[in-house]
Amino acid sequence: MSAVSTNGAPQTGHVGRALRRKEDPRLITGRARYVDDISLPGTLWAAIVRSPEAHAKITSIDTSAAKERADVHAVFTGRDLSDLIGPLPCAWVPPGVELNNPEHWPLARDEVNHVGDPVAVVLGEDRYAVIDAAEGVVVEYESLPVVTDPEKAIEGGPFVHEQLGTNKVHEWSLSGGDLDAGFAEAEVVIERRVVNHRTAGAPIEPRGVLAEHRAGSLTLWSSTQVPHFVRLFLAILLGMSEERVRVIAPEVGGGFGAKLQIYGEEILAAWCSRKTGRPVKWIETRTENMAVTHQGRDQIAHVKMGAKKDGTVTAWHVKILADFGAYNMLLTPLIPSLGAFVMGGCYKIPNVQTDIVGVFTNKCPTDAIRGAGRPEATHMVEVTLDQMAAELGIDRLEIRRRNFIPKEDFPAAVATGVVYDSGDYVKTLDKLLEHVDVQAFEHEREQQRANGVYRGIGFSTYTEICGLAPSRITGPNGVGVQAGGWESAMVRVHNTGAVTVYTGTSPHGQGHETGFAQIVADRLGVDPEVVEVIHGDTGTGPEGRNTYGSRSLAVGGEAVARSANKIADKAKAVVAHQLEAAPEDIEVRDGKFSVRGSPDKGMTLAEIAGAVYINEVPDGMEPGLEETTLYDPENFVFPFGAHACVVDIDAETGKVKVIRYVAVDDCGNAINPLLIEGQVHGGIVHGLGQALYERVHYDEDGQLVTGTFVDYGLPTAAELPSFETDRTVTPSPVNSLGVKGVGEAGTIAASAAVTNAVIDALRPLGVDYINMPLSPMRVWEAISEAQKGGVPA
Ligand code: MCN
């Protein structure tokens, strides 16, 4: 346990300590409760009949064989769900933007638009028998032409939704400064086509739903990141009062953005339970997860950067074609826009413009996957800056330093219209270079060359926008219609002095139970062990806004801190009343609320609770010790960092091996360095995995080629080096904790560091640019092309 706080001061409290996670014992001993561990008497199992076609009209559905089976209770098709109040939601309606948003129902009605589109549901008594029975549902399709290539789709037909007469979803732009003037000023202009391919969230636990409609009320357990949003839309779509709908996200075995969704299966299970009067359970198979759980990225960008000869970037223009797959889901069209706000990265670029076009294809829809738009933006700016450095013959780190927003400028209003709350980019880069000796690297590189291996190093200096909340900014930009972006926390001190925290965020691996307990423990003079953190249940605690956009700590954690502060203030008043002292003289010290200067004179939280619950409180004060906060910050928070990656490439096979990965991140004050390290590790794997291994691939007929973990290259520990991590601490001025998010930071930084390293390694072979995924085949092809003097891939 560390005795030094994150800012070097002596460690007195629990915040800042690398406490092991409170939740881990139950997780690693198999005692945690996931949706599939919950059984209700009389449950019907659901199996979903899905389309094998990427695009087709449904001409008939014959359910008779399935219905005849003794073990089948019911079979429903899209038409049976005609009493749903509306289709699945898309919650981004930006003012002034025309959005093509075709209806998307939990079961397809007339047409299927991607492989796996649901067509019918079979309910029965036995988990496995329903799967057999589903195979007995005969669906006749009339195949329609398929389009999977977004660049072809945007050119014209065939159309995914014929009635629209276009595959274009929308156009959206964000610009600041004067792009033309910026390019006029530039002495060098470079352009690249940057491909950010499609990936899957691939959580360990696939999705699962258990719905029980009973006596007019609905309880739904779902493996979701957003139980409060699921409740809202269940109520809307089923025409129920929210008060009669309870959604519980029990243990969630990873989400990575893929469970930030209102899925058809959630609505379907609830509808089926209401219809049959029985609990209904659906557990996704891995194959379904790969085919129908929303995917992410899938952007092709044409980027153009202008700079002066000294490397000063004068203009940065990005045109993104974003492949949304077959439908808009909850936030689909918003995702590329999230990247646009930080398109200028951590650089002082006066003229920045991002133009986005969304396009439908006959593929699974895309939406948020860890980083959601920001990894793509970072990849573009970081890779292009390296290209610019090469063009100008300037060192890659030097060009970064010349363009960094100086620390004196913070809070810094940037061209994209947002205000970066805090930053010290030189500090993180300098710290990175304490770990990475670039000169020594050059020596190693030569040695490796002598062995026939091409070694390269790549850097990524990033910033991101997170702590997604400020309703006053997100609302007018069309995000969170009917929602708002604050977060809630209720802290309750029980009669015994035990503490329960109800948070509106709901973790799926981040360790909130530990970090939030540390925050409260310090404020109330108790051990984190006696602070229970309750989450993911709309039936307990106040209304919440859940987990995405690395918001839990900066928004939810701040709400927890504020509620705990309110309790501490009340406790101080009670102690002052009991001990005949002034409230200002009461301090929390060594597990007690004691009188300053008289440490023996004090009360423990248990003693204070004893007093408040028998109403021994000052006149006019309510009994009890329970406080709620709904916190809506004034601004986002902008974590940043500097990452370096070293790779070796075998030019004969094109195989890339990551030798070293070093990350220095700055997420402000650390609540728990161990949690941060875990998040950074996981985040890096995500970005590195995309760069080198992971790719969702559809063939021209819209068939998913990467439908299992045999074909989808999820990296394992065997492929990865041991990560080296460090931090700098630049507190955020936005919240009292001084914290910024970290849940996506690693992912946002990593793919650019890896790609830049691969390009660096390949330069002696004549390859000066390459797009992900950096598979052996693609790297080998790029080398072959370059050797032939052709244009690299
Ligand atoms: N933390 C801290 N000090 C800081 C910053 C964060 O101790 N200065 C801790 C927090 O207390 C929290 C964790 O780090 O325990 C992450 O906090 P935060 O950055 O606020 O992010 P969220 O909790 O909101 O998590 C969301 C983010 C996202 S958007 C995805 S996607 C994601 C992720 O985090 N998916 C994950 N991390 C994941 N981790 C796991 N194991 N599984 C996923 O599915």
For residue 144, which phi and psi values (nearest 5 degrees)?
-120, 160
Question: Coil, helix or strand for 337?
Answer: helix
Nearest CA to ligand 1 atom 41: 509
For the residues 102-119, what does the mean pLDDT come to? 98
pLDDT for res 475: 80
Question: Coil, helix or strand for 77?
Answer: strand
Asked if 390 and 768 count as a contact pair (C-beta separation under 8 A), the reply is yes
| Model confidence pLDDT, tens digit, residues 583-635 | 999 999 999 999 999 988 999 999 999 999 999 999 999 999 999 999 999 99
Residue 404 banded pLDDT, cuts 50, 70, 90: very high
Q: CB within 8 A of 775, min separation 6: which ones? A: 654, 692, 693, 695
CB atoms within 10 A of CB 311: 21
For the residues 94-112, what does the mean pLDDT come to? 94
Q: Does the beta carbon of 535 sit less than 6 angstroms from any atom of ligand 1?
A: no
Q: Does the beta carbon of 22 sit less than 6 angstroms from any atom of ligand 1?
A: no
pLDDT for res 241: 97
For the residues 325-354, what does the mean pLDDT come to? 97
pLDDT for res 480: 60
Asked if 547 and 226 count as a contact pair (C-beta separation under 8 A), the reply is yes
- Say which residue the tokens 């503490």 belong to: 499
DSSP 8-state assignment for residue 8: S
Distance CA 112, CA 114 (A): 6
For residue 582, which phi and psi values (nearest 5 degrees)?
-90, 140
Q: Does the beta carbon of 16 sit less than 6 angstroms from any atom of ligand 1?
A: no
Query: How many distinct helices (H) and strands (E) make up the chain?
Result: 20, 28
Instruction: Report the separation in Å between the CA atom of 536 and the middle of ligand 1, taken as the mean of its atom positions.
Output: 15
Query: Is the model's pLDDT at 790 over the cut of 90?
Result: no
Nearest to 539, CA basis, from 258, 242, 97, 135: 242
* Per-residue CA distances from 142 to 117, 134, 139, 291, 632 (Å): 15, 20, 10, 21, 51
The ligand 1 atom nearest the CA atom of 683: 37
Give Dmax over CA atoms of the chain in angstroms: 88
Question: Coil, helix or strand for 19?
Answer: coil
The ligand 1 atom nearest the CA atom of 669: 8
* Per-residue CA distances from 112 to 58, 76, 286, 448, 697 (Å): 7, 16, 21, 53, 19
Distance CA 482, CA 479 (A): 9
Query: Is the model's pLDDT at 7 over the cut of 60?
Result: no
For the residues 630-649, what does the mean pLDDT come to? 97
DSSP 8-state assignment for residue 554: I
Distance CA 545, CA 533 (A): 16
- Say which residue the tokens 């926390």 belong to: 489
Omega into 411 within 30° of 0, i.e. cis?
Answer: yes
Long-range CB pairs of 408-412, under 8 A, 24+ apart, other chains included: 409/348, 411/635, 411/733
Which stretch of 380-389, 559-568, 598-607 has the lowest confidence by average pLDDT? Answer: 598-607
Residue 343 banded pLDDT, cuts 50, 70, 90: very high
Query: Is the model's pLDDT at 549 over the cut of 70?
Result: yes
pLDDT for res 6: 43
- The secondary structure of 427-466 as a DSSP string is HHHHHHHHH--HHHHHHHHHHHHHTTEEEEEEEEEEE--B
| pTM of the predicted model as reported, rounded to 2 decimal places | 0.96
For the residues 711-716, what does the mean pLDDT come to? 94
- Tell me the best of 261, 518, 553, 555 to mutate to test the pocket of ligand 1, counting ligand atoms within 8 Å of each CB and taking the most: 553
Q: CB within 8 A of 620, min separation 6: which ones? A: none
Q: Does the beta carbon of 19 sit less than 6 angstroms from any atom of ligand 1?
A: no
φ/ψ bin of 281: left (φ > 0), alpha (ψ from -120 to 50), beta (otherwise): beta
Which stretch of 32-46, 186-200, 318-332, 466-480 has the lowest confidence by average pLDDT? Answer: 466-480
Angle at 690 between CA 769 and CA 322, to 5 degrees: 80
Query: What's 403-430 look like in SS3?
Result: HECCHHHCCEECCCCCEECCCCHHHHHH
Q: Does the beta carbon of 368 sit less than 6 angstroms from any atom of ligand 1?
A: no
Instruction: Report the separation in Å between the CA atom of 679 and the middle of ligand 1, taken as the mean of its atom positions.
Output: 6
Q: Does the beta carbon of 252 sit less than 6 angstroms from any atom of ligand 1?
A: no
Q: CB within 8 A of 265, min separation 6: which ones? A: 46, 48, 106, 118, 207, 209, 282, 284
Nearest CA to ligand 1 atom 35: 256
- Tell me the best of 34, 226, 510, 734 to mutate to test the pocket of ligand 1, counting ligand atoms within 8 Å of each CB and taking the most: 510
Element (H, E) at 363: none
CB atoms within 10 A of CB 253: 18
Distance CA 323, CA 151 (A): 9
- The secondary structure of 705-749 as a DSSP string is S--STTTS----GGG-PPPEEEE-----SSSTT-B---TTHHHHH
Query: Is the model's pLDDT at 648 over the cut of 90?
Result: yes
Mean per-residue pLDDT of the chain: 95
Nearest CA to ligand 1 atom 2: 671
CB atoms within 10 A of CB 13: 14
For the residues 439-462, what does the mean pLDDT come to? 96
Query: Is the model's pLDDT at 1 over the cut of 70?
Result: no
Residue 211's Cβ-side half-sphere holds a number of Cα atoms within 13 Å equal to 29
For residue 211, which phi and psi values (nearest 5 degrees)?
-120, 135
Residue 9 banded pLDDT, cuts 50, 70, 90: very low
Q: Does the beta carbon of 731 sit less than 6 angstroms from any atom of ligand 1?
A: no
For the residues 254-273, what does the mean pLDDT come to? 98
Residue 172's Cβ-side half-sphere holds a number of Cα atoms within 13 Å equal to 27
Percentage, residues of the chain above pLDDT 70: 97
* Per-residue CA distances from 713 to 238, 259, 367, 390 (Å): 39, 21, 20, 32
Instruction: Report the separation in Å between the CA atom of 409 and the middle of ligand 1, taken as the mean of its atom positions.
Output: 28
Query: Is the model's pLDDT at 793 over the cut of 60?
Result: no
pLDDT for res 485: 86
Tokens at 10, concatenated = 């002596």
pLDDT for res 483: 66
Q: Is 624 exposed, middle or buried (0-12, 13-18, 19+ CB in 10 A)?
A: middle
Instruction: Report the separation in Å between the CA atom of 792 and the middle of ligand 1, taken as the mean of its atom positions.
Output: 38
pLDDT for res 645: 98
Percentage, residues of the chain above pLDDT 90: 94
For the residues 313-320, what does the mean pLDDT come to? 98
Query: Is the model's pLDDT at 699 over the cut of 80?
Result: yes
Nearest to 280, CA basis, from 46, 102, 552, 488: 46
Q: How far is CA 730 from the centre of its chain?
A: 23
pLDDT for res 179: 98
Strand pairing class (44-50; 280-283):
parallel
pLDDT for res 70: 96
Q: Does the beta carbon of 545 sit less than 6 angstroms from any atom of ligand 1?
A: no
| Model confidence pLDDT, tens digit, residues 502-528 | 999 999 999 999 999 999 999 999 999
Please give the single-letter amino acid code of residue 289: N
Residue 560 banded pLDDT, cuts 50, 70, 90: very high
Query: Rounded to the nearest 10 degrees, how much is the dihedral formed by the CA atoms of 381, 383, 385, 386?
Result: 170
Distance CA 758, CA 216 (A): 59
For the residues 679-696, what does the mean pLDDT come to? 98
Q: Is 347 exposed, middle or buried (0-12, 13-18, 19+ CB in 10 A)?
A: buried
The ligand 1 atom nearest the CA atom of 511: 15
* DSSP bridge partners of 666: 640
Write out the E strands in 622-700.
626-631, 640-650, 655-666
